[in-house]
């Protein structure tokens, strides 16, 4: 018997085409897996089983008639509870948003998937308004790591990454304002892509401005390319959206890395202390890129840590999110969010513009860097997953989540495409991520290099248990 919950989207579509199984079978398998993992992992805010099975039935009929609605017809998908989904409340991890309402509009990425016949399983968890790099919120509690329930899944797309890792749908929509797709992808052993800003339209506009991207979390780079082809098209509601890509991202996967110029920066010039197990796994993968024909040089970009400028932009955005809330509603917020909102409200317009100057200069330096190098490779994170329910690792000395994510948020400031690829595990069996970064608009290169790592057997980690139990806490929220 084929484990349908363990298949990629591409494998499901092949099964639909050949009639070995249909979208109803695949949807039932994904829903059963989601219901099985939910009590322990807490990846979902809500499951929409009735709607999912109805859409799957419609899709099965189209496949039998030979008229699928698109290349993702019948594929189970999850949606982070930041993105609007018609007919389903979008609560953004906050008790300040009421469930009752019209909920009659899809975000652009959700609308494109609906048009193409994708099956929506439900909404995945997020920290409140997506404000931090781990996933816990006053609304839905703590989302846990598929490999060890005592650890965090990362964030802010933690529910999306955990769902993909555990077979509750092969495709997930996440958002990334400072690493929020790549962080949980690295911690949960899946592939996560932050596309070039504007490649995937976003509506409503994020309060975090052009730091915020929509991107795929999937089991491999091929599925991410399939998803990006579907969602990476303009939408009139987003005036910053890019024109449609000239070519298919799926078609761009082939070609390998032979001849590509790759800069490998293990620690951003000594600025980041990387755990030995992480450094070793990333270095092994980089060596394989060289073996596959890439020109690899250990070289650091001219990148002074822009964390203060990022904080100005990020905290100001958070303050804007809650600006209209009264004292009673503010008392319901995550205490950490309340703290950064208070800081953000103190910044002046001149502070914000000075941070934008830092951002523009960083973009200029990275643009110049990519005239020499096609790709930059770094660890995605300097650590593996730490204790669940904490914003920072215990004993790290960090105050905010940006302290342990120095490889991710700079590339939100530069708007470059960046992906996390799983390339091994540490001694505790926790996944390690490698980050691939390319110049703006070269999402195809990121996907191509990642696909080469998968094809060579370098990318990917052992699957977690379907119903994890290792290091199970006394009370899983």
| CATH code (residue 322) | 3.90.1300.10
The catalytically annotated residue of 156, 206, 265, 420 is 156
User: Which structural domain range is residue 63 located in?
Assistant: 4-455
Question: Residue 251 — left, alpha, or beta (φ > 0 → left; ψ -120 to 50 → alpha)?
Answer: alpha
472 in a structural domain: no
Question: Is 137 among the catalytic positions?
Answer: no
The catalytically annotated residue of 180, 265, 316, 420 is 180
467 in a structural domain: no
pLDDT band for 93, please (50, 70, 90 cuts): very high
263 in a structural domain: yes
pLDDT in tens, 271-315: 999 999 999 999 999 999 999 999 999 999 989 999 999 999 999
412 in a structural domain: yes
**Does residue 468 surpass a pLDDT of 90?**
no
CA distance 47 to 78: 9
pLDDT in tens, 356-370: 999 999 999 999 999
- Which is nearest to 163 in space by CA: 146, 140, 181? 146
Averaged pLDDT score across all residues of the chain:
96
CA distance 92 to 129: 5
pLDDT in tens, 254-276: 999 999 999 999 999 999 999 99
Residues 6 or more apart whose Cβ sits within 8 Å of residue 43: 34, 37, 124, 125, 143, 153, 158, 159, 160, 162, 163, 166, 168
> What pLDDT, on a 0 to 100 scale, did the predictor assign at position 475?
41
Q: How far is CA 263 from CA 287, 290, 306, 413, in A?
A: 12, 11, 20, 20
201 in a structural domain: yes
Average confidence (pLDDT) over 137-162: 98
- The overall longest dimension of the chain from CA atoms, in Å, is 63
Do 76 and 26 contact (CB within 8 A), yes or no? yes
Average confidence (pLDDT) over 379-392: 98
- Out of 69-83, 407-421, 460-474, which region has the weakest mean confidence (pLDDT)? 460-474
> What pLDDT, on a 0 to 100 scale, did the predictor assign at position 467?
58
64's tokens: 């039998």
Average confidence (pLDDT) over 241-257: 96
473 in a structural domain: no
> What pLDDT, on a 0 to 100 scale, did the predictor assign at position 2?
84
**Does residue 346 surpass a pLDDT of 70?**
yes
Strand pairing category for 141-142 and 148-152: unpaired
Do 189 and 218 contact (CB within 8 A), yes or no? no
The catalytically annotated residue of 80, 123, 132, 194 is 80
* C-alpha torsion 193→199→205→210, nearest 10: 70
Domain count, the chain: 1
As beta bridge partners, residue 119 has 76
461 in a structural domain: no
> What pLDDT, on a 0 to 100 scale, did the predictor assign at position 465?
80
Question: Is 156 among the catalytic positions?
Answer: yes
Do 56 and 26 contact (CB within 8 A), yes or no? yes
199 in a structural domain: yes
More confident residue, 476 or 408: 408
pTM above 0.85, yes or no: yes
Question: Residue 414 — left, alpha, or beta (φ > 0 → left; ψ -120 to 50 → alpha)?
Answer: alpha
């Amino acid at each position: 018997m084929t484990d349908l919950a363990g298949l990629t989207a591409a494998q499901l579509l092949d099964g639909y085409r050949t009639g070995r199984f249909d979208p109803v079978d695949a949807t039932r398998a994904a829903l059963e897996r989601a219901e099985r993992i939910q009590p322990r992992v807490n990846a979902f805010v809500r499951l929409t089983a009735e709607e999912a099975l109805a859409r799957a039935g419609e899709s099965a009929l189209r496949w039998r008639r030979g008229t699928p609605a698109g290349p993702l017809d019948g594929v189970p998908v999850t949606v982070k509870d930041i993105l609007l989904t018609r007919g389903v409340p979008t609560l953004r991890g906050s008790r300040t948003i009421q469930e009752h309402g019209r909920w009659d509009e899809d975000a652009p990425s959700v609308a494109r998937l609906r048009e193409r016949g994708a099956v929506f399983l439900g909404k995945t968890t997020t920290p409140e308004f997506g404000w931090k790099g781990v996933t816990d919120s006053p609304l839905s509690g703590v989302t846990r790591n598929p490999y060890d329930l005592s650890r965090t899944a990362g964030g802010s797309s933690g529910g999306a990454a955990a769902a993909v890792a555990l077979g509750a749908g092969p495709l997930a929509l996440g958002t990334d304002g400072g690493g929020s797709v790549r962080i949980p992808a690295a911690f949960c052993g899946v592939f996560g892509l932050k596309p070039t800003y504007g490649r995937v339209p976003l509506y409503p506009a994020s309060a975090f401005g052009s730091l915020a991207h929509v991107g795929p979390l999937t089991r491999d780079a091929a599925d991410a390319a399939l998803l990006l082809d579907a969602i990476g098209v303009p939408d009139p509601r987003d005036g910053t959206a890019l024109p449609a890509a000239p070519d298919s991202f799926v078609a761009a996967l082939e070609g390998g890395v032979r001849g590509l110029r790759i800069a490998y920066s293990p620690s951003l010039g000594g600025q980041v202390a990387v755990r030995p197990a992480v450094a070793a796994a990333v270095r092994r993968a980089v060596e394989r890129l060289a073996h596959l024909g890439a020109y690899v040089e250990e070289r650091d970009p001219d990148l002074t840590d822009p964390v203060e400028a990022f904080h100005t932009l990020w905290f100001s955005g958070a303050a804007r999110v809650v600006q209209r809330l009264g004292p009673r509603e503010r008392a319901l917020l995550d205490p950490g969010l309340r703290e950064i909102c208070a800081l953000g409200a103190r910044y002046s317009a001149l502070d914000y513009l000075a941070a934008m100057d830092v951002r523009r200069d960083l973009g200029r330096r990275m643009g110049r860097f990519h005239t020499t190098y096609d790709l930059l490779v770094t660890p995605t994170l300097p650590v593996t997953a730490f204790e669940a329910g904490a914003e920072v690792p215990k004993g790290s000395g960090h105050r905010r989540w940006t302290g342990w994510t120095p490889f991710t948020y700079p590339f939100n400031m530069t708007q470059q495409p960046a992906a996390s690829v799983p390339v091994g595990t540490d001694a505790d069996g926790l996944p390690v991520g490698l980050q691939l970064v390319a110049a703006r608009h070269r999402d195809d290169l990121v996907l191509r290099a990642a696909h080469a790592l998968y094809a060579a057997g370098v990318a990917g980690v052992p699957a977690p248990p379907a119903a994890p139990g290792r290091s199970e806490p006394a009370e899983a929220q």
